[in-house]
Structure 1
Amino acid sequence: MVLRESQIRRTKSIKNISFTKILLYIFLIVLAVICFTPFYIMIINSTHSNADLASKMSLLPGTSFFENYKRLQDRVNIWTGFKNSIIISTSTTALAAYFGALTAYGFSKYRFRGQKLLFALVLVALMMPAQLGLLGFFKVIKVLGLPNTRLALILPAIATPNIVFFIKSYMDSAVPDSLIEAARIDGCGEFKTFNRIILPIVTPSIATMSIFTFIGSWNSYLMPLIVLNDESKYTVPLMTALAKGVYQTDFGAIYVCVAISMVPIMIVFCFCSKYIIGGLTMGSVKG
């Protein structure tokens, strides 16, 4: 009798768990649909004419995509902006990832005078809006002779406080001090230790921040607008602003431009999304 009652309770518990999982799956599916809907509408709008976009909202594809694309090409060379954005974003991401990890390694595993003060300055820089430094930034690049160049948008990525903070926090828990000491005993130099031992361990955190860095650089509008004045060096966001026209806003061309500009971001996210999960959930190694 007692055995039968325990089996009944176990069966009810399993049913409750199954019902909870079904509700959770339904909630996640609804949430995914809500998140995907703006991208879907953006893609659908790129296939409709300006008249259709002004008069109605449609959830079905139209037939005006190539007409919109032709008008876009008549106004701006979107592929030139695409090339410029690829060069700037990939270079920015690579520099920010490597030097950010290197700086985080110094803060995490070295002890030196003024360390806490310097890290406090990193936190202050993290909390300050970038717009506050625009005037000083422009004066610096003018002194260096970098206005209207891609380097003016790439080189500042060497100092990225949010990457330093995130990777340091990850490194504190994921990289034991004993591992570094063992590498030094084996004769590894500091840079060899960092490049061959530390970097592979903190790859999830680097990849996580690299995704956000790439997206932020790709979507940046204000900094390229200030630095660049040659249309042949414009990035995709600046090309999108030019695509709207002068006397009348061409929504069809704008939606095509935005849809094209989203392709690299979606590719990067699809291939690297697992690193976001890894970067946020890993780091449980203890020294």
Structure 2
Amino acid sequence: MSSQVIEVKESKKSENEQLESLSKNIKRQKLFRNIICILLCIMSIFPFYIMIINATRPSAAIQQGLSLIPGTMFFTNISKLGSLSAGVGTPVMKAMLNSLCISVPATLFTVYFSSMTAYGVYVYNFKLRRIAWSFILGIMMIPTQVSIIGFYKFMIQIGLNDSYLPLIIPAVAAPSTVFFMRQYMKTALPLEIIDAARIDGSGEFYTFNTIATPLMKPALATQAIFAFIASWNNLYTPSIILSSSTKYTLPMFVQVLRSEQFRSDYGVIYVGLLLTVLPLFIVYFALSKYIIAGVALGGVKE
């Protein structure tokens, strides 16, 4: 009897030891993951922090080396940036407004019409659906640089060179956004909902705008962020299409500041870079709540 009691005690002791060792392993793994996540966050934020710090420092101090302490030349650099605008050909605020005039409508066109295209490919069962989907996937493989010469010649022939329209209207056709939205619809938009809306007499555009679109808010927000960043940071196509200095976008403005004529003042350049990045942060923080809500909604399964 006593031997059985001893065996039971030893077994419980071994179980407790195993549980303790398992708990320690879990704590060590959690600590390791937290350390890795913190390091990755620091690595991601550090370049932006240095950019902000350098925007507050004089050019001579920036050339001397790295500093983590903010300077006192921020407003001076901003005033210098305003004074250099005459040499660039357009004021910095005008360049920012030009970028907004391109990026905002291009983002709206990309998100809405790409979602509509993905909706048509996903919902409708027509004969050429597979061919159309394969064509969209094939277009994704063609880089912009391959077709830019023909695109530029075509814009000259129809009189749209040195205009914002060639930078806005082609945003309607965004194959990568179509691909993403269709993949999202396959998991978040049941076809039964669409069929029920049709039975109730809902029109196709009304169904898409009032039923399908609200269900895709997280995906729409994600693609809006990507589309706005791509359009806002686009330097290649505007540099080819736009020739008037008064129509320069903000990336083109910063590119001119980096030329030999203005390269001597790095503080001004960093202020220009800060102004370029600032709207991207605003758009991300304005739309990130929809992404978080979508992740939370997708993590709850009945």
The alignment's TM-score, normalised by the length of structure 2, stands at 0.87
Partners of 1:8 and 1:284 lie apart in 2 by: 34
Which region of structure 1 is more displaced relative to structure 2, 4-13 or 213-222? 4-13
Partners of 1:125 and 1:275 lie apart in 2 by: 29
Partners of 2:294 and 2:181 lie apart in 1 by: 9
CA shift in 2, pair 1:96/1:285, >3 Å: farther
Q: Does the 8 Å CA contact 1:47/1:63 hold for their aligned counterparts?
A: yes
| CA drift at 1:6 | 3.3
| CA drift at 1:215 | 0.5
| CA drift at 1:14 | 2.6
1:27-38 → structure 2 map (5 Å cutoff): 27-38=36-47
Partner of 1:146: 160
Partners of 1:281 and 1:120 lie apart in 2 by: 32
| CA drift at 1:275 | 4.1
| CA drift at 1:285 | 10
Is 1:217 equivalent to 2:231 in the alignment? yes
1:248-287 → structure 2 map (5 Å cutoff): 249=263, 250-276=265-291
Secondary structure of the residue aligned to 1:120 is helix
For residue 73 of structure 1, the aligned residue among 79, 82, 94 is 82
Deviations, residues 236-286 of structure 1 (Å, cap 9, x unaligned): 101112223543513221111001111111122223234445667876899
Q: Does the 8 Å CA contact 1:96/1:158 hold for their aligned counterparts?
A: yes
CA shift in 2, pair 1:147/1:280, >3 Å: farther
**Which entry has the higher C-alpha Rg, 1 or 2?**
2
For residue 9 of structure 1, the aligned residue among 13, 18, 29 is 18
Partners of 1:248 and 1:184 lie apart in 2 by: 61
Partners of 1:66 and 1:284 lie apart in 2 by: 46
Deviations, residues 183-226 of structure 1 (Å, cap 9, x unaligned): 11111111111111111111111111111110111100011111
For residue 192 of structure 2, the aligned residue among 167, 178, 192 is 178
| CA drift at 1:11 | 3.5
Partner of 2:145: 131
Secondary structure of the residue aligned to 1:113 is coil
Partners of 1:229 and 1:280 lie apart in 2 by: 44
Partner of 1:199: 213
CA shift in 2, pair 1:245/1:64, >3 Å: farther
Deviations, residues 124-150 of structure 1 (Å, cap 9, x unaligned): 111111111111222332333322222
Q: Does the 8 Å CA contact 1:47/1:252 hold for their aligned counterparts?
A: yes
Q: Does the 8 Å CA contact 1:47/1:64 hold for their aligned counterparts?
A: yes
For residue 114 of structure 1, the aligned residue among 120, 124, 128 is 128
The gaps in structure 1 that reach 5 residues or longer are none
Q: Does the 8 Å CA contact 2:77/2:268 hold for their aligned counterparts?
A: yes
CA shift in 2, pair 1:157/1:283, >3 Å: farther
For residue 243 of structure 1, the aligned residue among 232, 254, 257 is 257
Q: Percent of aligned pairs with the same residue? A: 39
Which region of structure 1 is more displaced relative to structure 2, 171-180 or 267-276? 267-276
Partners of 1:285 and 1:171 lie apart in 2 by: 17
CA shift in 2, pair 1:281/1:155, >3 Å: farther
Deviations, residues 69-102 of structure 1 (Å, cap 9, x unaligned): 2221112211111111122111111110000000
| CA drift at 1:3 | 4.3
CA shift in 2, pair 1:247/1:220, >3 Å: same
1:35-114 → structure 2 map (5 Å cutoff): 35-76=44-85, 77-114=91-128
Secondary structure of the residue aligned to 1:27 is helix
Secondary structure of the residue aligned to 1:75 is helix
Secondary structure of the residue aligned to 1:59 is coil
- 1:191 alignment partner AA: F
The alignment's TM-score, normalised by the length of structure 1, stands at 0.92
Which region of structure 1 is more displaced relative to structure 2, 68-77 or 273-282? 273-282
Secondary structure of the residue aligned to 2:201 is coil
The gaps in structure 2 that reach 5 residues or longer are 1-8, 86-90
Partner of 1:163: 177
CA shift in 2, pair 1:117/1:285, >3 Å: farther
The number of equivalent residue pairs is: 286
Partners of 1:223 and 1:245 lie apart in 2 by: 19
